[in-house]
Amino acid sequence: MARLSYPLDNRRLVGIMFLTPALLYILLLVGFPFLLAIAFGFSDVTVGNTDLNFVGLRNYFAVWENDIFRQVFETTIRFTLVSQIFILIFANILAIIFTQDFTGKWFARFIFILPWATPVSLAMIGWLWMLDTKYSPIDYLLLQTGFLGPNGILSNSRNLFWLATPDLSQISVIFVQVWRMTPLATVILMAGLSSIPTDILDQAEVDGSRFMRTLLQIKLPLILPIMVIALLFSMITMFGDMTVVYVLTRGGPVDYTRVLGLYSFQVGIEGGNLAQGAAISLFAFPLLLAMAIFMLRTASRAEVQ
């Protein structure tokens, strides 16, 4: 027994043991692919010819001069920004509701966390059915209530074509992203709200503050740093995401819902041009890095106590 426990008393050894899994994970699944992508980005590698010949910034210039890339880049930024606004609003409202006392709170929390806990691809297949061009249950309900169909309020057609028109397909994708990302932001904000000392909230109550004043002048300012962290998480996740559009629209109709992650995948893997695919995905990197640094600095500056 003594012999067995001896190595575990060694702080260095135990430290290394605890760190190894995380280090391996970062090195093998994040670090290596990242370095590989950088190497690819400066080369002329394709699926057909895996020789790495250095070509400088050629890929980046080619990508930048490509009109489709510019549109994809703009779409990605627009989707990310618009969805973040809704995520912040919904997450704040939900976090406030879920930190109040009411019966069935546990169950309601459980239901609302589900979109985030479900595997993305699985959830997207569900949405694919919900938004189906012909058999969408949403369309069916609208039809039954007189919003669709002959003399319908929204359209004379029997369907809205959720994923097939330029405007609706973008709205649908943003809606699904908001649906998917709101739970995580909510959980983070809930943690923030419940970390506010009860003395402060009791004090506000004795001071005569009502619900809205306490919310706007006490609670929200106090959880601002945590809100920035939540925003950062969902922004970075969303900026690099490709699963949602890959399953729902494949970037269509035309290019209206094509985002950076998907485009990089389509050019690099499906199109076989590994070098340009890598260059496309790397365009997001400096932007995300700058965003992360800016937001983390804001958060630590706003940090109170």
Binding of residue 203 to other proteins (CB under 8 A) = yes
CA distances to 45, 53, 150, 262, 263 from 39, rounded to whole Å, are: 9, 10, 58, 20, 19
Binding of residue 210 to other proteins (CB under 8 A) = yes
Q: How long a stretch of residues is the chain?
A: 305
3-state secondary structure of 158: coil
**Least separation, in Å, of the C-beta of 199 and other proteins?**
4
**Least separation, in Å, of the C-beta of 216 and other proteins?**
12
Question: Which of 273, 276, 263 lies closest to 57 in space, CA to CA?
Answer: 276
**Least separation, in Å, of the C-beta of 204 and other proteins?**
8
Q: Which is nearer to other proteins, 15 or 221 (CB)?
A: 221
Binding of residue 300 to other proteins (CB under 8 A) = no
Choosing from 7, 33, 197, 272, the residue that interacts with other proteins (CB under 8 A) is 197
CB contact at 8 A, 198 and 276: no
Q: Which is nearer to other proteins, 209 or 243 (CB)?
A: 209
**Least separation, in Å, of the C-beta of 192 and other proteins?**
13
Binding of residue 195 to other proteins (CB under 8 A) = no
How many other C-beta atoms are found inside a 10 Å radius of the C-beta of residue 223? 23
Binding of residue 208 to other proteins (CB under 8 A) = yes
3-state secondary structure of 43: strand
Choosing from 52, 143, 191, 218, the residue that interacts with other proteins (CB under 8 A) is 218
Residue 177 identity? Q
Binding of residue 207 to other proteins (CB under 8 A) = yes
Which residues are within 8 A (CB) of 218 and not within 5 positions of it... i.e. 6 or more apart? 196, 200, 201, 204, 209
Binding of residue 305 to other proteins (CB under 8 A) = yes
Residue 254: both structure tokens together: 């035309």
Choosing from 7, 105, 125, 205, the residue that interacts with other proteins (CB under 8 A) is 205
Listing DSSP states for 44-95 in one string gives ---SS-----B-TTHHHHHHHT-HHHHHHHHHHHHHHHHHHHHHHHHHHHHH
* Per-residue binding letters, 91-110, with other proteins (x by CB under 8 A): --------------------
**Least separation, in Å, of the C-beta of 97 and other proteins?**
21
**Least separation, in Å, of the C-beta of 99 and other proteins?**
17
* Per-residue binding letters, 129-168, with other proteins (x by CB under 8 A): ----------------------------------------
Q: Which is nearer to other proteins, 137 or 221 (CB)?
A: 221
Binding of residue 2 to other proteins (CB under 8 A) = no
Choosing from 221, 254, 292, 300, the residue that interacts with other proteins (CB under 8 A) is 221
CB contact at 8 A, 263 and 251: yes
Binding of residue 200 to other proteins (CB under 8 A) = yes
DSSP 8-state symbol, 215: I
Exposure string (b/e) for 131-164, b if CB count within 10 Å is 16 or more? bbeeebeebeebbeeeebbeebeeeeeebbbbbe
Residues of this chain that bind other proteins (CB under 8 A): 197, 199-200, 202-210, 213, 217-218, 221-222, 304-305
